[in-house]
Structure 1
Amino acid sequence: MLRQRPRDAKLSVGGQSSSLPVFVAGEENRLVSFVCQSDVSIWASGPLLLIGPEGSGKTTIALHLAARCSAEASLADDSSAVKFLSAVDFARDYAEAIAADDLPPLRDTIDKAAVLVIDDLHLIAGKTAAQDELTIRIDQRISLGAPTILTSRRLPTETRSIRPQLASRSVIGLTIPIAYPQGSSRTSILREYALLRGVEISDEQIGLLDAGLRPDIAARNLDGAIKQIDLHCRMSQAAVDVAALQSAINAAGAQNDVDLGKITRTVAKIWGHRTRDLRSGSRKQSVVRARSLAMLLARRMTPCSLDKIGEYFGGRDHSTVLHAIRKTETLLESDTDLSRIMHEAKEKLAA
């Protein structure tokens, strides 16, 4: 079912959170809405790849589409019609099958599934043998015309240690980006959660709450904000007020607070440097690039001033920090390796 709103649509597909039985698709997810309402045939001929950050609803949409596909094939009552595996589970099952010298049953299960869903494909990175096997299985399913749905936090072609063969098979069909809710869809979700939790909150207060929350928040975190308001009001035995809204905004911001040390350690580890290298005066090119990326992340993810960031990274002045940040922002537009490292660092810092 699809219900239209001025700028968003509500899909009854299980939701972006286990407690909200809908997925609200606004302008930021128009393509998701279109695919969910369209005939299965537009995507079932090749792998369908859903990409988006953690908590954006990739798995929910994948399972909804898989259920629709099995229903259209008159297999809605067949519990084995949809084969769901995380990429990590697939790699483990493959390793166990190899160890037992009993690979045919696994291949048979994957090949004959009416619909195959492989969740979190990015987590198979580095598992070379399992990637090669999955590539073969996807090829086989393509030749059979069997629908395959993949989810990943980012494009496989931009994921380090994903083999080119698997990356190329993953993107030959439709690729659908899924974003966190924004604009009217986000305020709609906040209202839905307020109704669900029995919190009496006005449209004006919803607007103030939405304006105070970070833009990169999953639906489950919006639910957390409403829960925080409910808790604050119960403890103070008062109606929703500015203090209740601020407590929710503060709590949501604190969930992903990071400091300069964590950012530096994360970037250094990804790049293969030591933390002290990034804080040193080293002009080695790879260290400079890593340091500049860490400065950019510090500027975006902490309240630190340019002066404080410069002081932390070896006593540099604010103009040097600003130059490094602007240069890195420019490089991110064309340097896919740097962009991939940026995404990886942000995911690790948000975990």
Structure 2
Amino acid sequence: MGVTAQSVWDNCLDFIKDNIQPQAYKTWFEPIIAVKLTDNALSIQVPSKFFYEWLEEHYVKILKVSLTKELGETAKLVYIIKMENTYGNKQPFTEKIPSSNRSSVKSQDVDIPLNNKSPELRNPFVIPGIRNVKIESQLNPNYSFENFLEGDSNRLARSAGLAVSAKPGGTSFNPLLIFGGVGLGKTHLAHAIGVDIKDKYPEKTVLYISAEKFTQQYIDAVKKNNRNDFIHFYQIIDVLIIDDVQFFSGKTGTQDVFFHIFNHLHQNGKQVILTSDKAPVDMQDIEQRLLSRFKWGLSAELQTPDFETRVSILKNKLYRDGVEMPEDIIDYVAKNIKTNVRELEGAIISLIAQSSFNKKEITIDLARIIVEKFVKNTKREVSIDYIQKVVSDYFQMDIDTLQSKTRKRHIVQARQLAMFFAKKFTKASLASIGSQIGKRDHATVLHACKTVDNLSSTDKQFRKYVEDITKKLSV
């Protein structure tokens, strides 16, 4: 049997396979199709211009060696870039294997300059797959570790973030998932890690993106028929930070494409950082295979800061803004705004603004007015302890009985109601609710919530329990 394009390419692939990482081979060589062999020129088809550029940038030497081995010194390589949406222009680019890394690329009939900003290939941030492309990291330099103050509520997440920024992709914290309620600093910490990595490793490609924007880009890529370019773009990132990953819920196409990108990055030792307002165990409508990957690394929770940490945050903010404020006023704000760092800083900014615009001295009375506005405008979050107290008082039992291991029906129902209301009125994770209500696991809490829902719709007396306790907690 004579030499064919396929047999030549198969031999080249055997050689290439032995000399590069398996994952790189799978990503960059498996999709290539050998088309024809004429006059010592092998034509290969690649899925996009970006793909072609990537091969040229990273694998030109190995392609040259393998092809020369098969066809001798006069070997030529012709790329056929099979692009969608190019209005019928599917002319191959011919490329004589060059002696240097840079190549002289001619198109046969149509001159398509390689550095054009082709609309079909619009890269999500700058220019798609063009050589020496500079991907803007989209990081906010104001979010740094210096102004992310450490306290008991965030120590684990902050320490893990520092470890990741010292050695991205080289720790067991991959992926690092930072989760917690609104305004506790998830986005701040994610940016701080990225900013620190850019300082320490300027050559690394770091990219911050919200899950919402990632989804939108994916929809656009599908619309324009360049899903491959979208995937290849994300596969070249060294440190990928995705904010609010719970936004992927129910979006199966986006989850699928992220699954492939995540696998590629993880297998190649790249770092993935995710933030979410829920722990993996509480994420609804996220595929199991993706959730299991979220758990490969470390899930670190940001909790509500304690009083001392809140005071430190306020003092740090005032110091950075060059403003002095009496201790008792700082203490007053810290005591009264408990659940949210963003609101804490917002209240202090309002205080400073009020005093400077209205030429008023900052007094406790002024602080009280500002704080009341903030507290009134935010839905009061009740604590799990308070919920347990209200439920146990309602059923005239003490909290120890509520939390006990007994299987007596009325006590089990009281406990299930406490779990149901904890899920409804707090931002705590299921695991956290379970551990606080009698050291149960998250599955027990999930079961309790379903039981309460079912009983509410079938049992009139039980529905009254739910309504009465809801009123007490909503006061």
Q: Give the Å deviation of 1:208.
A: 2.5
Q: Deviations over 1:174-218 (max 9, x none)?
A: 2222234323221012123334556542223322222222x2112
Residue 40 (str. 1) matches residue 163 (str. 2): no
Unaligned runs of 5+ in 1: 1-11, 264-294, 301-305, 311-317, 343-351
Rate the CA distance shift 1:35–1:254 in 2: closer, same or farther, 3 A: same
Q: Would you identify which runs of 4 or more consecutive aligned residues in structure 1 move more than 6 Å?
A: 321-325, 339-342
Q: Give the Å deviation of 1:108.
A: 0.6
Partners of 1:40 and 1:67 in 2: CA distance: 13
Q: Give the Å deviation of 1:23.
A: 0.9
1:282 is matched with none
Partners of 1:13 and 1:339 in 2: CA distance: 40
Q: Work out the percentage of aligned pairs sharing the same amino acid.
A: 21
Contact residue 15 and residue 57 of structure 1 kept, 8 A? no
Partners of 1:161 and 1:59 in 2: CA distance: 23
1:189 is matched with 313
| 2:302 aligned to which of 168, 178, 194 | 178
Partners of 1:65 and 1:234 in 2: CA distance: 35
Structure with max Cα Rg: 2
Q: Deviations over 1:11-31 (max 9, x none)?
A: x97348xxx971111122111
| 2:188 aligned to which of 56, 60, 71 | 60
Rate the CA distance shift 1:148–1:234 in 2: closer, same or farther, 3 A: closer
Q: Give the Å deviation of 1:238.
A: 4.3
1:239 is matched with 361
Amino acid paired to 1:130: T
Rate the CA distance shift 1:236–1:71 in 2: closer, same or farther, 3 A: closer
1:216 is matched with 339
Partners of 1:231 and 1:341 in 2: CA distance: 47
TM normalised by structure 2 equals: 0.50
Q: Name the structure where helix makes up a greater proportion of residues.
A: 1
2:232 is matched with 108
Residue 129 (str. 1) matches residue 253 (str. 2): yes
1:203 is matched with 327
1:227 is matched with 349
Amino acid paired to 1:93: Q
What are the equivalent positions in structure 2 for 1:77-96 lying under 5 Å apart? 81-96=205-220
What are the equivalent positions in structure 2 for 1:21-36 lying under 5 Å apart? 22-36=147-161
Q: Give the Å deviation of 1:65.
A: 1.9
2:282 is matched with 158
Q: Give the Å deviation of 1:233.
A: 3.8
Amino acid paired to 1:246: R
Question: How many residues in Structure 1 have an aligned counterpart in Structure 2?
Answer: 272
Amino acid paired to 2:368: Q
Q: Give the Å deviation of 1:166.
A: 0.9
**SS across alignment from 2:250:** coil
Amino acid paired to 2:218: Y
Contact residue 54 and residue 153 of structure 1 kept, 8 A? yes
Contact residue 110 and residue 137 of structure 1 kept, 8 A? yes
Partners of 1:251 and 1:54 in 2: CA distance: 18
| 1:120 aligned to which of 214, 224, 244 | 244
2:39 is matched with none
Q: Deviations over 1:290-316 (max 9, x none)?
A: xxxxx999x87xxxxx7xxx9xxxxxx
Contact residue 182 and residue 340 of structure 2 kept, 8 A? no
Contact residue 25 and residue 32 of structure 1 kept, 8 A? no
Residue 49 (str. 1) matches residue 177 (str. 2): yes
Partners of 1:200 and 1:84 in 2: CA distance: 35
Q: Give the Å deviation of 1:88.
A: 1.7
1:6 is matched with none
Rate the CA distance shift 1:57–1:103 in 2: closer, same or farther, 3 A: same
1:319 is matched with 394
**SS across alignment from 2:361:** coil
Q: Give the Å deviation of 1:339.
A: 6.2
Q: Give the Å deviation of 1:224.
A: 1.8
**SS across alignment from 1:175:** strand
Contact residue 143 and residue 192 of structure 2 kept, 8 A? no
Contact residue 13 and residue 61 of structure 1 kept, 8 A? no
Unaligned runs of 5+ in 2: 1-139, 398-410, 421-432, 435-439, 450-475
**SS across alignment from 1:49:** strand
Q: Give the Å deviation of 1:121.
A: 0.4
Of the two structures, which has the highest relative contact order with CA contacts closer than 8 Å and spacing of 6 or more?
Answer: 1
Rate the CA distance shift 1:206–1:129 in 2: closer, same or farther, 3 A: same
Rate the CA distance shift 1:154–1:341 in 2: closer, same or farther, 3 A: farther
Amino acid paired to 2:160: V
Rate the CA distance shift 1:321–1:116 in 2: closer, same or farther, 3 A: farther
